Structure 1
Amino acid sequence: MGSPGWYCIFLFFFLLSSHSARHGVNAAPASQERQQEYDKIKSLPGQPPVSFAQYSGYITVDKKHGRALFYWLTEAAIDPTAKPLVLWLNGGPGCSSIAFGASAEVGPFRIKKNGSALYLNKYSWNREANILFLESPAGVGFSYTNTSSDLAGFGDERTASDSLTFLLGWLTRFPRYKHRDFYIAGESYAGHYIPQLAKKVHDYNKVTKSNLINLKGFLVGNPVMDSNYDNIGTVNYWWSHALISDATYKSILKFCNFSRPADRTEKCNDIIEHAATHDFGNINPYSIYTPSCPTSSKSRLSGILLKNTLIGSPTYGYDPCSENYAVQYYNRLDVQRAMHANTSGIPYKWTTCSEVLTQWKDSQVSMLPTYRELIKAGLRIWVFSGDADSVVPVTATRFSLSHLGLPVKIPWYPWYSDGQVGGWTEVYQGLTFATVRGAGHQVPTFQAKRAFSLFKSFLAGRTLAGVGMAEGGRP
């Protein structure tokens, strides 16, 4: 999810009726300059005063079908013209980057109980960059399509293509960001979205011989990477962290062939269902050592299976019910008006994870070939893992990364934040891996300061601080 509070793996079977697109498709202002001014947010309901500019609205990615993607830009708090642009994507597939990335992870605001107002996130990533949040694909959050059949046709390929079309359209509307240093960040199933979009951008730049989208690299947390290796690593995490019994562990190994996901047996599915609903108990699988929200149901744990994969703190200030506050806040009409959202009359409520996408058409079985291509292209690539996540756990990511066979440049060492071990890291030829100690699936939610330290080091292109090193220094 990327990410999400709860990983959106079961996609609900609702059809989206067609609706007219008043904004972004049929009635956009005449000029991009006027459209940009239209998108500017004066102030959000219950928002504390801020010094940075915000914009939100729609970019059409398919006029014929009426597909439009919703974005929210929070410009850098200091010197935005000199700061890079970072696109944030949550996963799911089907989960909202507004709900999670913007409102519970790296955005400038957090939502108060009952969706009543906002308060500041002191570790917002817009302290270091201009952050662009995108709800993708259409059918997620405020993003929509006028063609209901689209909702059964989304998959990795269309999502990546629409995201590239969005970027090109968005840069036309905001030309000051053309040629700006550009990075992509996110988590979970964005472990597919991010490398796939990075490849689309890289290929576009090769064909056009342009750095209009000046892609420098990407940063992805607890990513879905490889169906086989992720699943093996996940099951080992469950057993080694005492989440499942010896009997369940042995049964999974006996009856589940992760190397052939299309041939998964009903017996295997039954065992996984048992592990999720019986062995786990009523915990938050995205952060196994923190409390669950009392309103969360046990049945949500059964969503750990996601098609081909097994996907589907005590920490300061963590509220396990924050997802509920997002639902309350973003369904307020005054909030939607302030954000220029839902201007076309979407016939369903805003949800943190989509309830209208009916299936996921294509999912790349392994992202490792794409990683190899992008490493060869010279992009800066960092992968990080919160070590308290059981959905896409650190063992899954390490096992998948090991099959890239990358030479080690800087061997494993602990990195520090505020004099405490923030996690562990190893630097490979072409890729940096880091863990974040005490963090769950959405790392910045559970360990905001450690995640911010990691982000600053990534942007600076510096290794994480070890013993005797300044933060962001070199060993």
Structure 2
Amino acid sequence: MDEQHHKRIFVVLHQVVVILLVMVVVVVGPSSCVKGGEEEDRILELPGQPKVSFQQFSGYVTVNKVAGRALFYWLTESSQNSLRKPLVIWLNGGPGCSSVAYGASEEIGPFRVNRSASGLYINKFSWNSLANLLFLETPAGVGFSYTNRSSDLHDTGDRRTAKDSLEFVVQWLERFPRYKNRELYITGESYAGHYVPQLAREIITYNTNTKYPINLKGIMVGNAVTDNYYDNLGTVTYWWSHAMISDQTYRQLISTCDFHRQKESDECESLYSYAMDQEFGNIDQYNIYAPPCNNSDGSAATSRRAMRLPHRPHHPAVRQLSGYDPCTEKYAEIYYNRPDVQKALHANTTGIPYKWTACSEVLNRNWNDTDVSVLPIYRQLMANRIRVWVFSGDVDSVVPVTATRYALAQLKVATKIPWYPWYVKNQVGGWTEVYEGLTFATVRGAGHEVPLFKPRAALQLFKSFLSGSPLPKS
């Protein structure tokens, strides 16, 4: 057999192989042919999970190979027409708290953890009825996200978090290409008042240097850390106006504390301690009108979640009561430490040398970089026609409504629709005002985690945000 004949046979065989590969891709689907693609992240079913119609995926994206930093995510696709729905990223704050623990498991996600931590039940007000929800645990060291460089846990902050989160989004979209051109919204609460606008700014910068821009449309933050000075001034004012502290303590705080400073004087910190320890009493700072989650002996159960602002003394706050159960965080910590749950989630695959916790004390205590104010970022986002919504549960004393109103007033933007009550189920859901480039809304009777306390109102808020329309007047 001559050499020419050999070549012809080789060409024919090569063509056959190519045709077979094309047929496999068409029949099976491209994701099944790509190692490391989305199929490897598919969740078949979580332990104790009720049957659902939507798809779920979870896993890791390495955002820094040198340090070995990898961020964990959990995607719950929309329960209706997911291919036509936007992608919404949810971030929790702390800094150091888990979006799986809070956003996914007791706020906007499709499931709640039951009391025995034996399984899950449906949240009928889940935001995945309107969008595909991507819960991201950021930065490395939060929840299941990890780093192989231990020094990262003792030296982190806003800048690295924003850059790692951008790297996550870019790589995640490569893994899930069907989301590449989808509308993207970033949402969150508390210290995510920093994470959300900072990530949005990183995306805007990224979009100026790429042929394939990320389709960012808007951001929404709740009870959000915004500006050091006005957050602190507004918080102390809220305490006094809601009779949580005495006239004397209020006057001393105002005259003694320099709210512009990142770290307060010892005298100021002592006043904060006195107010919290002696004058607040056994209340839940995250919802001042709800009884806290108490231990079996009647004493207050402290929460690891307690959001400790870098510019405020570190004091634990007791856990809040929701319309459901004040102790849901305890159930989450049992459930997500179960080996069968971690296996189903493709989590803890490297054997993290510590238990999964709702919040990382190590990260919180070593937060070394924080923006003094995110108001300049708001201005930048508004100039780029990014939709900006800010909401505030009005019975939260940690990042209260007065703090947010003081901060937003500094933007000095024109009013489009004056202050009015908005409605849900024929009841006042809260109050709102629409400005040029920004909408502000309160949620009546909601604590720090608005969707936990007022799930129906929060869902209406989310619906209006996605549509870009004012909240209903009747």
TM over 0.5: yes
Please say if 1:389 is aligned against 2:396. yes
Give the 5 Å matches for 1:294-305. Answer: 294-295=294-295, 297=300
Distance in 1 (CA, whole Å) between partners of 2:224 and 2:322 is 24
Q: CA deviation at 1:259?
A: 2.0
Q: CA deviation at 1:305?
A: 5.2
Aligned 8 A contact 1:329 1:335 in 2:
yes
Q: What is residue 259 of structure 1 aligned with on the other side?
A: 260
Distance in 2 (CA, whole Å) between partners of 1:309 and 1:209 is 43
Q: What is residue 333 of structure 2 aligned with on the other side?
A: 327
Give the 5 Å matches for 1:52-451. Answer: 52-211=54-213, 213-262=214-263, 264-295=264-295, 297=300, 306-309=309-312, 317-357=323-363, 358-451=365-458
CA distance 1:464–1:314, change in 2 (3 Å): farther
Q: CA deviation at 1:308?
A: 1.6
Report Cα offsets for 1:82-104 as digits up to 9, x if no partner. 00000000000000000000000
DSSP-derived class of the 2:466 partner? helix
Report Cα offsets for 1:119-145 as digits up to 9, x if no partner. 000000000000000000000000000
DSSP-derived class of the 1:183 partner? strand
Distance in 2 (CA, whole Å) between partners of 1:355 and 1:142 is 14
Distance in 1 (CA, whole Å) between partners of 2:327 and 2:218 is 33
Distance in 1 (CA, whole Å) between partners of 2:284 and 2:203 is 36
Q: CA deviation at 1:278?
A: 1.6
Q: What is residue 51 of structure 1 aligned with on the other side?
A: 53
CA distance 1:302–1:377, change in 2 (3 Å): closer
DSSP-derived class of the 2:397 partner? coil
Distance in 2 (CA, whole Å) between partners of 1:48 and 1:266 is 52
Aligned 8 A contact 2:185 2:216 in 1:
yes
Aligned 8 A contact 2:99 2:135 in 1:
yes
DSSP-derived class of the 1:69 partner? strand
Q: CA deviation at 1:306?
A: 2.3
Q: What is residue 25 of structure 2 aligned with on the other side?
A: none
Give the counterpart letter for 2:52 in structure 1.
V
Q: CA deviation at 1:350?
A: 0.3
Larger Rg: 2
Aligned 8 A contact 1:277 1:302 in 2:
no
TM-score (norm 2): 0.89
Q: CA deviation at 1:277?
A: 1.6
Q: CA deviation at 1:207?
A: 1.8
TM-score (norm 1): 0.89
* Higher mean C-alpha deviation, range 405-414 or range 239-248: 239-248
DSSP-derived class of the 1:142 partner? coil
Aligned 8 A contact 1:311 1:392 in 2:
no
Q: What is residue 12 of structure 1 aligned with on the other side?
A: none
- Give the number of equivalent residue pairs: 437
Report Cα offsets for 1:147-185 as digits up to 9, x if no partner. 001111210000000000000111111010001100000
CA distance 1:32–1:278, change in 2 (3 Å): farther
Give the counterpart letter for 1:76 in structure 2.
S
Distance in 1 (CA, whole Å) between partners of 2:53 and 2:424 is 27
Q: CA deviation at 1:433?
A: 0.2
Give the counterpart letter for 1:274 in structure 2.
Y
CA distance 1:382–1:304, change in 2 (3 Å): closer
Q: What is residue 455 of structure 1 aligned with on the other side?
A: 462
Distance in 2 (CA, whole Å) between partners of 1:435 and 1:195 is 19
Aligned 8 A contact 1:185 1:219 in 2:
yes
Gaps of 5+ in 2: 1-30
Distance in 1 (CA, whole Å) between partners of 2:163 and 2:400 is 28
CA distance 1:33–1:51, change in 2 (3 Å): farther
Question: What's the Cα RMSD here?
Answer: 2.0
DSSP-derived class of the 2:159 partner? helix
Aligned 8 A contact 1:330 1:350 in 2:
yes
CA distance 1:130–1:301, change in 2 (3 Å): closer
Give the counterpart letter for 1:218 in structure 2.
I
Give the counterpart letter for 2:471 in structure 1.
L
Distance in 2 (CA, whole Å) between partners of 1:309 and 1:462 is 36
Give the counterpart letter for 2:254 in structure 1.
L
DSSP-derived class of the 1:132 partner? strand
Report Cα offsets for 1:443-474 as digits up to 9, x if no partner. 0000000000000010011100013xxxxxxx
Give the counterpart letter for 1:141 in structure 2.
G
Distance in 1 (CA, whole Å) between partners of 2:206 and 2:112 is 36
Q: CA deviation at 1:32?
A: 4.7
- Structure 1 ranges of 4+ moved more than 3 A: 29-35, 296-305, 309-317
Aligned 8 A contact 2:287 2:321 in 1:
no
* Higher mean C-alpha deviation, range 365-374 or range 314-323: 314-323
CA distance 1:378–1:304, change in 2 (3 Å): closer
Report Cα offsets for 1:232-269 as digits up to 9, x if no partner. 0000100111111112111111210102334x210000
Distance in 2 (CA, whole Å) between partners of 1:304 and 1:431 is 26
DSSP-derived class of the 1:217 partner? strand
Distance in 2 (CA, whole Å) between partners of 1:109 and 1:298 is 24
Give the 5 Å matches for 1:18-29. Answer: none
Aligned 8 A contact 1:231 1:310 in 2:
no
Aligned 8 A contact 2:287 2:397 in 1:
yes
CA distance 1:300–1:270, change in 2 (3 Å): farther
Distance in 1 (CA, whole Å) between partners of 2:34 and 2:391 is 37
Give the 5 Å matches for 1:26-41. Answer: 32=34, 34-41=36-43
